[in-house]
Structure 1
Amino acid sequence: MKRREFIAAAAALLVSSRGLRAQSRRYRLGFLAVGDGSGRTLNQTELALFDGLRNHGWIDGRNLIIDYRFSQPPDRLPASVAELIALSPDVLIVAAPQATKALKSATATIPIVFVAVADPVGLGLVQSLARPGGNITGLATYVPGDFVAKRIEILRELVPGASRFAILANPGNPMHRLLLADEVPSTARNLGVVLPIVQAITAEELDVAFASAAAQRADAIIVFGDTLTVVEAPRVVALAAKHHLPAVHFSRQFANGGLIVYGPDFADLFRRAGGYVDKILKGAKPSDLPVEQPTKFEFVINMKTAKALGLSVPTSLLLRADEVIE
């Protein structure tokens, strides 16, 4: 009997030790981020990912190892992708469409969760929102069809009589190319407005783009969301002020000096991404996790900037705003 008891106790100890090792395993998460422009630090919006992970019990340095690489400047992207893949992470997180396409091209096996990709179906990243297919899923940033029109509607209320709205786009951004080919022309026809396109791929080209918008006598400008404009947000805001162009921006980074911010709550998207990571680390497949769209939007008006531009903000806009910066 003693021998049997010893064998049973040893077996129980073995099972217990295996369980402890499984519980103490640290998973590896690779994060291909936009960053704050320095190429060394996450921006404030991206840091919300940590809140989302903590909400599901995942702590960096405890049961999770997070490796960071950055997609900016653009010539850094290929090396950043290769370095993350070489680390063989359990899950990859990526922000922005260019970086997402690069990461998807680099691996068909490591699960990928994207954040801040406008139209993943149109870009060919997933088969459909409900059934992504492959090794990728995540959070989209808009509902196709009303992206440009919604911003024109806001600017028309703010600048009565406006009919010429410049659009700042990055021709290197695949999502921008889709919008310029389809939604922008149809919106111009439907609303009877003129939408001159000004483009920038580099920070220096932003100066030329804003000067071109002013030369074409734009009444206002719509700044498309992009890695370049996010990283160069202070420069974009300063150029809009220099050329006296009322501007509507896409994300919270522009609220400091930018006239209007209207777009999804990106911090909320990064927090929700933590839930995707949790499900995948617990065995779910990306192909079975539907792509989600924004549920929270931010509408911010900067009254100081409005006054500097000589604009009177109508009550209709003030009542709809989530925040009014005095």
Structure 2
Amino acid sequence: LPRLAQELDALLPKVFVAAATAAGVVHSVLPDRQLVFTAMAVDPVAVGLAESYRRPGGTATGNVMNAVGGEESLTAKRLGFFKDLVPNVERLGMIGVVWDPQALQGVLSHQEETALQEVSIQLGFRFENYAIKTPDDLERVFAKALSDGVDALYISGDPLLTVNMSRVMPYILAARKPTLGVYPEWGRAGLLLTYSTDALDGFRRAGVYAAKIVRGVKPGDLPIEQASKFWLVVNLKTARQLGITVPPNLLTLADELIE
């Protein structure tokens, strides 16, 4: 990513648009360049990308995936939907990633795990994290989770798992457990339920900000936007395979039903 940012900078762009962890890289390598970030699930103020949401003040602005209430609020909604769908879950296992506290993604991974622990307690789940360092650890952590007797699996939103979705899904399908996760791509691939902000809407909004900056508006004068559009996916095919009847309220609330 640093090399790619420098290659793009050689083309003398008026503004960079960067998603997720790439935003932190661009800002670190090229701190004086104008930047619009999107698909950010960490607090841009806390990690030094901006001075405040209302007035970023520096060279970067954009939109974040978390709504008011942050990761815990989204996690509570996600697990609440899941409990409506699978009310008898007692033990929830998270397939996560060993996080680096010095990395931007590590901050997010820690927030995700902490939120899951807190919300699981509130909803009466017993929560355990099964973390991988590399995709080669997948077989071991899935086997460990199943041998521990988890009732359901939560798939972390970490990019390491997402980019290796084709390697992760066979273990999920073989486990034959109710599963939930963050991004709709996982629901379309076979997870029982996913719930997150609408990343595509975030990219569209980033485009609006990029256009304003190209026309002369300073990033520091454009307030950071928080997510306002959310996407609930329920995979009916997976539900049938697991013998789960989807309650009418979820059928009504779902933005996307996978047949």
Bin the TM-score by the shorter chain: 0.7 to 0.9
- Which residue matches 1:212? 144
- Which residue matches 2:76? 149
1:281-320 alignment runs, 5 A limit: 281-320=214-253
> Is the CA contact (8 Å cut-off) linking 2:14 and 2:34 kept in structure 1?
yes
- Which residue matches 2:191? 258
The 1:217–1:80 alpha-carbon spacing in structure 2 relative to 1, beyond 3 Å, is farther
- Which residue matches 2:201? 268
The 1:280–1:157 alpha-carbon spacing in structure 2 relative to 1, beyond 3 Å, is same
Instruction: Give 1:237's match in structure 2, choosing from 161, 165, 169.
Output: 169
Per the TM alignment, residue 117 of structure 1 is displaced from its structure 2 partner at its CA by: 0.7
**SS of 2:203's equivalent?**
helix
- Normalised by the length of structure 1, the TM-score is 0.70
Tell me the amino acid that sits aligned with residue 164 of structure 1. R
> Is the CA contact (8 Å cut-off) linking 1:96 and 1:227 kept in structure 2?
no
- Which residue matches 1:134? 58
Separation in 2, partners of 1:155, 1:284: 43
- Normalised by the length of structure 2, the TM-score is 0.86
Determine which structure has more spread, i.e. the larger CA radius of gyration.
Answer: 1
> Is the CA contact (8 Å cut-off) linking 1:200 and 1:206 kept in structure 2?
yes
> Is the CA contact (8 Å cut-off) linking 1:129 and 1:292 kept in structure 2?
yes
Separation in 2, partners of 1:236, 1:268: 27
Instruction: Give 2:4's match in structure 1, choosing from 54, 76, 80.
Output: 80
Identity %: 36
Q: Is residue 196 of structure 1 aligned with residue 123 of structure 2? A: no
Root mean square deviation, CA, Å? 2.1
The 1:85–1:201 alpha-carbon spacing in structure 2 relative to 1, beyond 3 Å, is farther
- Which residue matches 1:163? 90
> Is the CA contact (8 Å cut-off) linking 1:169 and 1:223 kept in structure 2?
yes
> Is the CA contact (8 Å cut-off) linking 1:135 and 1:286 kept in structure 2?
yes
Q: Is residue 96 of structure 1 aligned with residue 20 of structure 2? A: yes
1:97-116 alignment runs, 5 A limit: 97=21, 99-116=22-39
**SS of 1:208's equivalent?**
helix
Separation in 2, partners of 1:258, 1:184: 18
The 1:260–1:295 alpha-carbon spacing in structure 2 relative to 1, beyond 3 Å, is same
> Is the CA contact (8 Å cut-off) linking 1:223 and 1:248 kept in structure 2?
yes
Instruction: Name the count of aligned residue pairs.
Output: 248
CA displacement, residues 44-72 of structure 1 (integer Å, 9 cap, x when unaligned)? xxxxxxxxxxxxxxxxxxxxxxxxxxxxx
